[in-house]
Structure 1
Amino acid sequence: MTAIILAGGKSRRMGFNKAFLPYGDKTFIEHQIARLNKIFDEIILSANDARLYAHLNLPIVSDILPERGPLSGICAGLIRSTSFHSFVIACDMPFIHEKIILYLREQIGGYDVVVPQTSRGLEPLHAFYSRNCIQPMYRCLNEGRLRIIDFFSEVKVKIVDEQEFKELDVPTQPLVNLNTPEEYQKYCDYKAPNQRES
């Protein structure tokens, strides 16, 4: 199965590229790659400036349509993916927890989207998507409907409430994304239980 890291955002609120923020002895994106390599057979980067990420030695795709936000990056990644289902994660979510990802993967069944829901709402940048999503996504992009969830009504979606993660005995920080320097400062010292050895 494939993981797609979205690294094409402009990081306006953070002020600089979030993918290269230090987290421990690695950058955010290096940390994600190391963790995702334990779970997935393939990792794809969705980024519009391939030169910045060439040193990571991963396949890189640019947005299927420019200036259309993360939905365009997800669509491009799904087209490039060799798997029917792919896990999508934003580069500003460094607190990867394998148990949560594996639990979400177990819920796929006949669904096209498996997405967590927290008190903040749906977390579509930490979710699984199938290739059945490509055409609905593309229609939304062409119509200017750019929210990731805009195509959900056209596919089979399973929402996994964060309460279910309590049975896994894991924290909810893996679903946090960092958008501002203040958020980065607040969470940069956090390490999930399965991350403390690295």
Structure 2
Amino acid sequence: MDIPPTIGLILAGGRSRRMGTDKALVTLAGRSLAAHVIERLAPQVDEVVISSNAPRVDFGVSVLPDVLGGYCGPLAGVHAALARFPDAAVVSVAVDLPLLPRDLVARLKTGWDGVRCRYAVCGDRHALAILWPPAFANSLWNYLTQGRRSVSDWLEHHGEPVPVPSDGDADLRLNINTPADLARAVGLVAHRGR
């Protein structure tokens, strides 16, 4: 199958309640979490955009607001990207994954049929690292307008897991949601020689 152009979507529209401040702007090893994710994602895709409804620092990439009003969760950001780029596949990643694998997109695309989502799993959990087919904009819109928000439920019906183990300087298990997570991340990043 011919792989369509790929948009890297950084999901940064969350409320960051557990962190107490905007996670995209939290600093790790001298750079914002958003900068870490952009640096790792950009070489893997044709274009990077950030999903957010709030104004923030200019990261040098386009900011894409949700089409749906109110806070509808990460799937609303994915829908906005699929609607904005109808001929492209979208790889969504959370802004709080600073050790994103540098070959994540290649792993997700390997063996992809272009019909189902492929999502990265590391150990027993999945991150919001998902390859979305271009054709999912309408079905995702229907899902969201029915009041449904669960990424896990969506993936249960439309997804295929792809093992992405932790190795070298990549670890999808490092998900920074709280100040305690950030403190642990500082040690991990220093240990891995970021």
TM-score by length of 2: 0.84
Distance of 1:128 and 1:24 partners within structure 2: 28
1:1-198 to structure 2, matched below 5 A, reads 1-49=6-54, 51-53=55-57, 55-65=58-68, 66-81=70-85, 83-123=87-127, 125-152=128-155, 155=158, 157-162=159-164, 165=165, 169-170=167-168, 173-191=171-189, 196=193
More off after superposition, 29-38 vs 74-83: 74-83
Q: Deviations over 1:127-165 (max 9, x none)?
A: 11112221121111111111123334664x321134xx3
Alignment partners' CA distance in 2, 1:127 and 1:152: 9
Q: 1:151–1:21: structure 2 CA closer, same or farther, 3 Å change rule?
A: same
The 8 Å contact of residues 126 and 175 in structure 1, kept in 2 or not, is answered as no
> 5+ residue gaps in structure 2?
1-5
CA distance, structure 1, for counterparts of residue 187 and residue 46 of structure 2: 29
The AA in structure 1 aligned to 2:153 is D
In 1, the alpha carbon distance for the partners of 2:110 and 2:17 equals 35
Q: How many equivalent pairs are there?
A: 188
The aligned amino acid for 2:90 is S
2:3 equivalent in structure 1 = none
Distance 2:92 2:32 in 1: 18
**Identity level (%):** 24
Contact 2:42 / 2:48 at 8 angstroms: preserved in 1?
Answer: yes
Once the two structures are superposed, what CA deviation does each residue of 1:47-78 show, in whole Å capped at 9, x if it has no partner? Answer: 001x314x223221111212111111111122
Contact 1:97 1:192 in 2 (8 A): no
Could you tell me how far apart the structure 2 residues matched to 1:99 and 1:33 are?
14
C-alpha root-mean-square deviation of aligned residues, in Å?
Answer: 2.5
User: What letter is aligned with 1:161?
Assistant: P
TM-score, length basis structure 1? 0.83
Q: Higher helix fraction: Structure 1 or Structure 2? A: 1
CA distance in 2, matches of 1:171, 1:37: 17
Q: Distance in 1 between matches of 2:187 and 2:101?
A: 16
